[in-house]
Amino acid sequence: MIYLFVHVTVEYIKSVQGNMFVDWDVKTVSAADYTVEFRIEPEMYEHFQEKYLDETNPISEIGQFRTYVKDEMESRLTEFPALGIDGPEGDEMPVKIAVITFAFFNFEIIHNLRKRGVYIAKEKWEKMEALNTKMTDRLHNSQELLDLMQTPVACFMSLETEEGKCRADLYNETVTMPDYIQYATFLGSEIDVHQASEPSDIIWENRHFTPGQRFLRTMIVSFAIFLMLCVSFALIFTAQKTSIAMKQKYPKQNCVEVGQEYSNRRSAWMRDSINEYIVNSAIEEKGEVALYTGPMQCFCNAEKKLRHKKSEYYELKNDEGKVTYREQICLQYALDKRNAKLLALSITVIIIVINTVLKKMVVALVGWIGEDTISQQKGSVVKGAFLGQFFNTGFIILIVNANMKQHKPKEFWRLFNGPFSDYLPQWYLEVGVKIITTYTVQGIMPYINVVKESVILKLKGRADTKGSGDPFRTSKRTIQTYKAVYLGKDMPIHFKYSDALNITFLAMLYGFGMPIMYPMAMVIVSNQRLCERIQVAYNYRQPPAMDDSLSNSVLTIMKYAPIMLLFNGYWLMDNQ
């Protein structure tokens, strides 16, 4: 029932969002509203060069190709069935293409130009000159590079009328009709004509990648992310295991009863404590697990109340009064307890730091895949970042504390020898508190980020004006560096989405056992929403115009959140 409710709610949000996108698209006229695109395969351009290129024509090769595409597509679209969008007169008029734009195989040159821009902005003139020399040499000496730079890989056609645009939108369906089957291929190959993205959303230098290349790169990136998750698992697993081992080394004891047993017998208490320390030290030297269940813990606690120094030496003497053993037994106890507390508290910090590093690495890896648009690229980042965050925050802390030694194969599961074989009350006190702490930190971080970004921008401006606050006074020597002082960061919308997904999935995973997570999730998401609006208004740069593929992808992932509740919620409910 819960799953159906969430599924219907998400579908409703998607439909409302789709209507809002259509409404925005109607009210906002942009180049993409009348533009379609299709990919130009290498064999298509070779087909044109072999059959239609006129070497004697003074028009350039790419100019002839543009003219051919324009004339051929106008002819086809004019022949297609009329849709009546522009009325009877529009049906009679031939379809005209206003402008054709090509994307070229120019990754190398765009990449170098971006680097050059960075060097100019940072006033690194020597590096800029070296890059200029490198680019000049490549352009002068590499005919292969020049040929690639003039090879079109994608075509963007802007139609003059709504009728023409709608016919182009139906191109793929129309060419399958019996009356138009002769148009099934274009330059010897089938083409996929579809709505073009907003110009600011297009990553022009990635247009040469084929679906096969992207698939291969996606597999490599997925494997790299898997390796990173393994490393993060090892780090968090080791830290948590060490914390658990140190905590189990000193089980809780009733020191009131122990104190009463040794009342007015401090020497006997000290002797028994030293003997316990000696026995456990010998056990540790053998590589086995020490367990202080005797009087030493309570003895050291009593010594602390009496204001004895932790570094005090305690001696064991024989019947003749000769010292046979002398050691700082309470110092080691105090250090172990302190380290156990620090390590337990640091688990949350370790998880947050690892998630932050993981997100940065995912961005770099996904950028290498070569997506066509910023929307697609950020959608891939959302999936990778969310997977890493949810695995580190939701699963590792559960697995590390689980006792699975009874499962087969025992050689593997014996590694997971945590203190809890079920959701016991003590699990909520030890593990549940860590999850809630991580949740709380995520709820506070949006406000911290608002303050941090605001302060950084103010400090950058003050530093540039040498404390005067006058924006017309600057120490910068280029307009790029001056603008960089007052420009904020790009909006990390992909991280916002991954954080929201992580919060929702965690609430579904553990909320049945810790109901406080449901209102906390609502508050955290609301905090994020409020802080994002503030950041966009005052701190972030204006984001690019993107399509709705990113939000639709996130909503599709969101539909699977109740599955966490179905599996783990049943386990929590079954545990009496």
Listed as own residue / partner, the contacts of 290-294 with beta carbons closer than 8 Å and 24 or more positions apart are 290/249, 291/248, 291/249, 291/251, 292/249, 292/250, 292/251, 292/333, 293/251, 293/253
Report the alpha-carbon distance of residue 457 to residue 452 in Å, rounded. 9
Confidence of residue 24 (pLDDT cuts 50, 70, 90): low
Mean pLDDT of the chain: 83
- 414 occurs within a structural domain: no
Amino acid identity at 108: E
Query: For 47-61, 188-202, 284-298, 445-459, which range has the lowest pLDDT when averaged over its residues?
Result: 284-298
Report the alpha-carbon distance of residue 576 to residue 570 in Å, rounded. 12
Looking at the structure, tell me whether residues 152 and 288 fall in a common domain: no
pLDDT at 443: 82
- 516 occurs within a structural domain: yes
Helices in 93-210 by DSSP H: which ranges?
Answer: 107-121, 125-141, 143-149, 162-169, 171-174
Residue 576: pLDDT over 60: no
Residue from 402, 356, 432 nearest 241 by CA: 402
Q: What tokens does 562 get?
A: 């109740």
Residue 36's DSSP bridge partners are 157, 195
pTM of the model: 0.72
Looking at the structure, tell me whether residues 152 and 217 fall in a common domain: no
Looking at the structure, tell me whether residues 197 and 218 fall in a common domain: no
Looking at the structure, tell me whether residues 516 and 469 fall in a common domain: yes
Report the alpha-carbon distance of residue 448 to residue 25 in Å, rounded. 35
- 501 occurs within a structural domain: yes
- Mean pLDDT calculated for residue range 496-524: 88
Report the alpha-carbon distance of residue 340 to residue 510 in Å, rounded. 25
pLDDT at 559: 82
Residue 493: pLDDT over 70: yes
Looking at the structure, tell me whether residues 187 and 218 fall in a common domain: no
Looking at the structure, tell me whether residues 19 and 128 fall in a common domain: no
Q: pLDDT tens digit string along 401-460? A: 777 777 777 777 777 777 777 788 888 887 888 788 878 888 888 888 888 888 888 888
Residue 155's DSSP bridge partners are 38, 102
Q: Who wins on pLDDT, 246 or 271? A: 271
Per-residue b/e over 224-259, b at no fewer than 16 CB within 10 Å? Answer: bbeebbeebbebbbebbbebbebbebbeebeeeebb
Looking at the structure, tell me whether residues 154 and 224 fall in a common domain: no
Report helix, strand or coil for 516: coil
**Alpha carbons within 13 A on the beta-carbon side of 354:** 27
pLDDT at 1: 66
Q: pLDDT tens digit string along 25-44? A: 666 666 677 899 999 998 99
Containing structural domain, residue 462: 1-29+422-576
CB 380 within 8 A of CB 371: yes
Listed as own residue / partner, the contacts of 8-17 with beta carbons closer than 8 Å and 24 or more positions apart are 10/555, 10/558, 10/559, 11/559, 13/555, 14/552, 14/555, 17/548, 17/551, 17/552, 17/555
Looking at the structure, tell me whether residues 34 and 154 fall in a common domain: yes
- Mean pLDDT calculated for residue range 304-308: 83
Looking at the structure, tell me whether residues 10 and 65 fall in a common domain: no
Phi, psi (deg, nearest 5) at residue 51 = -105, -30
- Mean pLDDT calculated for residue range 325-343: 81
Report the alpha-carbon distance of residue 262 to residue 298 in Å, rounded. 10
CB 61 within 8 A of CB 50: no
Looking at the structure, tell me whether residues 248 and 366 fall in a common domain: yes
Q: Who wins on pLDDT, 258 or 98? A: 98
Number of domain units in the chain: 3
Report the alpha-carbon distance of residue 402 to residue 17 in Å, rounded. 42
Phi, psi (deg, nearest 5) at residue 181 = -65, -20
Residue 550: pLDDT over 60: yes
